[in-house]
Structure 1
Amino acid sequence: MTSTRRLIFGALAVALPLFAAAPAVADGEVNIYTYRQPYLIQPLLEAFTAKTGIKTNVVFASKGLGERIAAEGRNSPADVLMTVDIGRLDGARELGIAQPVASDVVNENIPPQFRDPDNNWIGLTGRARVIYASKDRVDQDSITYEELADPKWKGRICTRSGQHAYTIGLVASMIAHHGEEKTEEWLAKVRENLARKPAGNDRAQVKAIYAGECDIALGNTYYMGQMQTNDKDPEQKDWAESVRILFPNSEGRGSHVNLSGVVLAKHAPHPENALTLIEFLTTKEAQKVYAETNYEYPVTPGVDVSERVKSWGELKPDDLPLTEIAKYRKAASEIVDKVGFDDGPSS
């Protein structure tokens, strides 16, 4: 029996009442709320328990965890929130559910651009927002985000909803670089180049390329790894084989890179254990496990990317701090609606 005790539930409405009703936990435990699928963090947590002896209790949900912690207030059992995307990380700060992480270990391991200025959230791994391009129908080896507005791509682009956090992050980065007016013009032109209404997740866009419905699609890098290694649904390996990754703006400012990260809960019942966990997650040992398991990029300097990730090409990340990009999330959402992005092309 593994030393890591997991309380994993498929629905938040069921999971958290059961978690709250559990007996008081011992000092040797830490309670984790996470948006990340349990299997993605299990190897990491098992390594943490093996090294520290601290047991981990995990509650997983796909949405609403930050709001739940806020509603629970001082009675929340959450010690840490593990999440993805700058929107959710900065959202935890905005909800008032985070407390600063005061740690020389974290400050030494994680560069400032991957941390909130007040350490209310800590970045752990990076995922680039890239272009999946058909090997058969796209000849070019480079691209820019700006180029997605070029009429040559009319009817050839697939993407997920404009209101999804991943898209909002990219649009916010465009605002940070070009301003709201130019970004609105750009996004309206991208909408006209869509092959269909935005729908599905990032893997669904690659499936659409494989099926010939479009030629390029926006997606996060780690989905390539998930598809290439999917033995349960081997058809996804065929999807992945039909495309290659283009890293946008590699010859300029670099590709937009978002984060997975962690937050120390404001009313953490086990703050010392929580801090121990956060510090562990920033070590080279943990960064290697986390990044390799999730096909992501380590943010701790000196940790190499996995061979699989390296095979996709060289990433030049946009060095604009995510805290700067996060300022424009609201404006990005408003622009998405204003141009009717999710309605798809007008003709």
Structure 2
Amino acid sequence: MKIGNALSAGAGFALAALFATSALADGTVNIYTYRQPELIQPVLDAFTAETGIKTEVLFLDKGLEERVAAEGANSPADVIMTVDIARLTKAKENGITQPLVDETVNKLLPAEYRDPEGNWFGLTKRARVVYASKDRVKDTAITYADLADPKWKGKICIRSGQHDYNLALFSAAIDHWGAEKTEEWMRGLKANLAKKPDGGDRPQAGAIAAGECDIALGNTYYVGLMRTNEKDPKEKEWGNAINVIFPTFENGLTHVNISGIALAKHAPNRDNAVKLIQFLASHKAQQVYAEKNFEYPVEPGLEPSEMVKAFGELKADTLPLADIAKNRKAASEMVDRVGLDDGPSS
């Protein structure tokens, strides 16, 4: 069963009842996900082909944690798949996950990309990079600190500072620089904005293509999605209008975030759920992720797709994502205090 859009609360509970029936059958694993179904379907198909275990997918664009919590012990959810360290830690904090200590998984996944207590596991990486105009930006190296340099005044575009992807970057900055320096930097970033933050990552590339700004913050995989978008020529133009620059902290490394998975607290098909997590951590699944989604596999040494390699070399920050998650509240409060989402000062 593949559900391709968010559901109303009533429809969701009706579906939960339907899931509950299939959940009792052998050979099934029920997946609640924030990830777009088309992004995870290739690897789920590979899992079914190898194990014979079927996957049932419920996609929601919001309220997943609340849904699972409301369903309680009767929830049909076996695993939760989502993006961003904040959402993974939110699932843990909301008490809808259970720890999994599995030697196979822990051996395959580096410690910095999994919860120390086993409540979530990172499956893919994406870097928070600079999109730079091919026509107007000659720089080939930009640090995160450089984004506050007055040379970029009126030339930077970003989505909301309160979005999870930006909050994760700001949280990492707090860990690297401390709160005081990060806030000073954020005020410089605000002063350099070309306009009030809005939209998603892809529209930032669109703003660059339109000449509204010269550089922007965005995730790496969106560049691959734009450049291969045969259905929307406009997005393809956006992707081809920019270069990817890997900004770094003083350690010479670039901030990364993850997509990940957690074992649901009341998983009715726990054994199958564990098999899915083991498979997604495996070399075979990591290869599928690398080839299909324009993301970086978390498996050490496994190269990304040719498209992603063409962006340049990623030297990923080794700061544990669990540490980044601890700074999220401080980062969110800082965004409000600085007024980042109000746009540049007059």
Instruction: Give TM-score scaled by structure 2 length.
Output: 0.96
Provide the residue aligned with 1:321 in structure 2: 320
1:292: how far off? 2.0
* Separation of aligned partners in 2, 1:162 and 1:111: 29
| Matching residue within 2, 7, 21 for 1:6 | 2
Q: Write the distance in 2 (CA, Å) between the matches of 1:250 and 1:313.
A: 17
**For the residues of structure 2 that align with 1:251 and 1:177, how far apart are their CA atoms?**
8
Letter in 2 for 1:173: A
8 A contact 2:145–2:249 mirrored in 1? no
Aligned counterparts, 1:194-343, within 5 A: 194-249=193-248, 252-343=251-342
Partner of 2:119: 120
Look up the equivalent residue of 1:49 and give its one-letter code.
T
**What's the counterpart of residue 71 of structure 1?**
70
Q: Is the 8 A contact 1:69 1:97 kept in 2?
A: yes
Between stretches 56-65 and 12-21, larger displacement belongs to: 12-21
**Equivalent AA in structure 2 for residue 120 of structure 1:** N
Contact 1:12-1:60 within 8 A present in 2 as well? no
CA–CA separation in structure 1 for the residues paired with 2:142 and 2:251: 10
Residue in 1 aligned with 2:87?
A: 88
Q: CA deviation at 1:264?
A: 0.3
Distance of 1:103 and 1:238 partners within structure 2: 45
Say if 1:9 and 1:15, in contact at 8 Å, map to a contact too.
no
CA distance in structure 2 between the aligned counterparts of 1:251 and 1:296, rounded to whole angstroms = 24
The answer to whether 1:17 aligns with 2:16 is no
Q: Which amino acid aligns with 2:9?
A: A
Distance 2:259 2:95 in 1: 19
Q: 1:130 to 1:14 in 2, by over 3 A?
A: farther
Is the CA contact (8 Å cut-off) linking 1:110 and 1:123 kept in structure 2? yes
For the residue of structure 2 that corresponds to 1:24, the secondary structure is helix
**Which residue of structure 2 lines up, in the alignment, with residue 175 of structure 1?**
174
Deviations 1:136-194 (Å, cap 9, x if unpaired)?
11111001111100111010000000100001001101100111111111111101100
CA 119–145 in structure 1, closer or farther in 2 if over 3 Å, else same = same
Look up the match of 1:106. Answer: 105
Shift of 1:237: 1.4
Shift of 1:19: 1.5
Deviates more, 1:169-178 or 1:101-110: 101-110
Q: In structure 1, give the amino acid aligned to 2:51.
A: T
- 1:188–1:339 CA contact under 8 A, matched in 2: yes
Consecutive aligned runs of 4 or more in structure 1 exceeding 2 Å deviation:
5-15, 250-253
Q: 1:9, 1:19 → 2: CA distance?
A: 13
Q: How far did residue 250 of structure 1 move?
A: 7.4
Q: Deviations over 1:15-66 (max 9, x none)?
A: 5223222161112111000011011111111111111111111000111101
Residue type matched to 1:236 in 2? E
CA distance in 1, matches of 2:117, 2:217: 32
User: Aligned pair in 2 of structure 1 residues 29, 296: CA closer, same or farther (>3 Å)?
Assistant: same
SS in 2 for 1:305: coil
SS at match of 2:196: coil
Deviation of the 1:14 alpha carbon: 5.4
TM-score (norm 1): 0.96
- Post-superposition CA distance 1:285-312 (Å, at most 9, x none): 1011122221000001242211111010
- Change over 3 Å in CA distance of 1:204–1:9 after alignment to 2: closer
1-structure distance, mates of 2:339, 2:16: 42
Kindly provide the amino acid, as one letter, of the partner of residue 262 in structure 2.
V
Find the counterpart in structure 2 of residue 37 from structure 1.
36
Amino acid at match of 1:24: T
Going from structure 1 to structure 2, the CA distance change for 1:273 and 1:287 (only over 3 Å counts) comes to: same
1:6 alignment partner AA: K
- Shifted more, 248-257 versus 40-49: the winner is 248-257
**Contact persistence 2:128–2:257 (CA under 8 A):** yes
1:12 deviates by 4.7
CA distance in 1, matches of 2:6, 2:338: 35
Whether the 8 Å CA contact 1:80–1:274 is kept in 2: the answer is: yes
- How far apart in 1 are the matches of 2:4 and 2:201? 25
CA contact (8 A) 2:33 2:80 kept: yes
| Structure 2: gaps spanning 5 or more residues | none
Q: What stretches of structure 1 of length at least 5 have no aligned partner?
A: none
Question: What code does the residue aligned with 1:19 have?
Answer: L
**Considering only aligned residues, what root-mean-square deviation do their CA atoms show, in Å?**
1.3
SS at match of 2:21: coil
Alpha-carbon shift at residue 241 of structure 1 (Å): 1.2
Q: Does the aligned pair in 2 maintain the 1:12–1:61 contact within 8 Å?
A: no
SS in 1 for 2:126: strand
Cα distance in 2, alignment partners of residues 6 and 337 from structure 1: 39
In structure 2, what is the equivalent of residue 48 of structure 1? 47
Shift of 1:316: 0.7
